A and B are shown apart, each in its own frame.
Chain A
């Protein structure tokens, strides 16, 4: 026996002896003195804060890739064992249980993946899809976990594009305490707590798939209350040490435990908080419609006059004298570009125009303009008072606003229009991504176009095309023989691989009403 082994044996014997001695010296509990009830010290509680778990499978991951800011045309390799229907990513975020005891509002960052691609149908014109209603193609995989850690059965109702909130309804109304949300006045300097789920350290087991989570809070202070032009609170700004993206979606409570709002963004070292009144209105909009509610879309880009240099007016055709007058007024929005086919284009708004009023309400800054359009809502008519560089008098223009779930896409700010990326069936209601042969064989299919999303009430949906299908032939031509310039007009016959079976799907033009 080596010296090392002797040392180890001695160590073990010493340990055994010390353990035995400790155990022998441990006094038995006193039979006469009952043990006191252990209570956890009272800390802020948040019965209105729930946890939302949003899971994304492989198909939705491909949607995310297609809709990202990066150019994506084909999948060239995947990890072995990848399954389209398996979970790929899980987002964990706070939710606010509203005072009716059944409505949940949450700022799900990937909610857009549950809906049509950005800009759809705005990029094609609503007339092409008269039945387009911002519906869900399939229910999102969303779970609600109550403050006590129990799962609460719930369903996703819709997305409010104005606030970015997702609205869910619990199956049982009494699952959460009612009247937990109250609209309380808040002021600068008031302390708030930002509640949200966080991982419990060192509990991500390597043996199972579980990550342990709890609701925790960070302390913050209201630094600014941003008023809307109507006088109510539009946003709050809250400072807190070391804010991060993980805090977005968190629920802000005051020291009395009353709901202040939901964190919907970060601006430098401060969090912007959507106030309770705005959350309540978003929930009402979605619940009334029982589906997603688009944001009002005009189709313009512009800048507040108050923030402009004189040269910017001159560049848009304004005479110097009138430009000086306009700039001195500090009112209105100078339009710098108009999206083709947009409501603004249809109303003959042009770059260089200055919108001074919306429904006779003056616009002081960009936030005012946003507020008035949001209050008007999608599919409504508004009356603009417009100053134009080539005419002396202001002009009144009636504009019917359109609706869009992702306003950023209405202008093609992202490279997310699949028509520009390659062969696409998006204009017929199917979002696709090309699979290379290696990847296709991994997924148990052949090379072609993988359907990642089918919009309800479109030719693709009507024909029975499904997400997960792989299109091999279009009008008897292999996908590889087609390119982005190929015209894909209806009617069209597709050969599709679905669960290792070949099917023929025929897309027909939508019936005219």
Chain B
């Protein structure tokens, strides 16, 4: 039968590392509580099994993907826990705010339109060759396309990539990246007016298992992107080893 002491004891047992001792209070409790003793046995066995499995090497871009996932999660707070009623109310409220806002903005901008001379950041899609810009004096934020895909298409790609739906609808031009800092190259500062441009990469690192011919198998993960000379594997294009000509 669980009592009030069982809860903290089990929490401590869960947090113990393999071969780590529990506190004396927990030890006292275990003498009297058979349920917790069973729980402790299960936990110990589980750790032993996990400990015997050995280590697994994380993919090379694990850190990058983890941070991307965390960033995505942090941008999506726990709306899923809201009930249907609350979600409906929230949606209605947001619509009301936008409606009121649109009316206010429309009224003010039609009183007298000022000359807006803000230079917006530009984002160019090198693959499609679109130069996207937004004019702030346009109430509909018209997306201006100055060049067609066909005009800017360079040498035809031989490789096959999965098409990306609605790429032109991506709101890339509404985001100012100029104040962002990168995680790979530290202590950096952006170049004056440097463009931020997208590069199409695959999302998943590829894993391949290999046999070395001597019965040994190993698995290699290929990160999707590398910058500079971040190595995927040690291969060529480094200089002659010292002392070899």
Residues of A within 8 A of B (CB): 1, 5, 8-9, 12-13, 15-16, 19-20, 23-24, 28-31, 34-46, 49, 51, 53, 55, 57-58, 61, 64-65, 67-79, 82-83, 85-94, 107-113, 118, 138-139, 141, 143, 145, 147-155, 164, 171, 195-204, 206, 208-219, 240-242, 244-250, 264-265, 295-303, 336, 366, 369-370, 373, 405-411, 413, 421-422, 436
Contact A29–B197 (Cβ < 8 Å): no
Contact A210–B226 (Cβ < 8 Å): no
- Indicate whether B208 reaches chain A with its CB closer than 8 angstroms: yes
Contact of A45 among B85, B170, B186, B191 (CB under 8 A): B191
Query: How many cross-chain pairs have Cβ atoms below 8 Å apart between A and B?
Result: 395
Q: B203-245 vs A: 1/0 string, CB under 8 Å?
A: 1101111111110011110111111111111111111111111
Contact B233–A202 (Cβ < 8 Å): no
- Indicate whether B89 reaches chain A with its CB closer than 8 angstroms: yes
Contact B115–A34 (Cβ < 8 Å): yes
Contact B245–A112 (Cβ < 8 Å): no
Which residues of the partner chain A approach B172 to less than 8 Å between Cβ atoms? 212
Contact of B236 among A112, A370, A373 (CB under 8 A): A112
- Complex alpha-carbon distance, A39 and B161, angstroms: 39
| Cβ < 8 Å to A, chain B residues 84-99 | 85-86, 89-90, 93, 96-97
Query: Known contacts A89-B222, A214-B191; is A28 also within 8 Å of B235 by CB?
Result: no
Which residues of the partner chain B approach A15 to less than 8 Å between Cβ atoms? 93
Which residues of the partner chain A approach B194 to less than 8 Å between Cβ atoms? 45, 147, 214-216
- Indicate whether B155 reaches chain A with its CB closer than 8 angstroms: yes
Most buried by A among B68, B85, B116: B68
Contact A61–B115 (Cβ < 8 Å): no
- Complex alpha-carbon distance, A87 and B112, angstroms: 53
Contact of A198 among B131, B161, B185, B212 (CB under 8 A): B185
- Complex alpha-carbon distance, A61 and B112, angstroms: 61
Give the dominant DSSP class at A's interface: mixed
Contact B240–A213 (Cβ < 8 Å): no
For B85, give the chain A residue with the smallest CB separation. Answer: A5
Contact A217–B189 (Cβ < 8 Å): yes
Contact A85–B159 (Cβ < 8 Å): yes
| Cβ < 8 Å to A, chain B residues 21-49 | none
- Complex alpha-carbon distance, A44 and B192, angstroms: 6
- Complex alpha-carbon distance, A302 and B240, angstroms: 12
Contact of A149 among B124, B157, B158, B219 (CB under 8 A): B124
Known: A69-B233, A208-B167, A373-B245. 14 other contacts (CB 8 A): A65-B220, A85-B160, A86-B161, A109-B230, A112-B235, A143-B127, A149-B197, A196-B185, A196-B228, A204-B68, A209-B203, A216-B185, A246-B229, A369-B245
**Cβ contacts A to B, 28 pairs, < 8 Å:** A15-B93, A29-B114, A38-B117, A65-B220, A67-B235, A71-B213, A73-B210, A75-B211, A76-B217, A86-B160, A110-B235, A147-B194, A149-B124, A149-B195, A200-B180, A202-B180, A213-B198, A214-B194, A215-B190, A215-B194, A216-B185, A245-B228, A246-B185, A246-B230, A264-B239, A336-B243, A407-B239, A408-B238
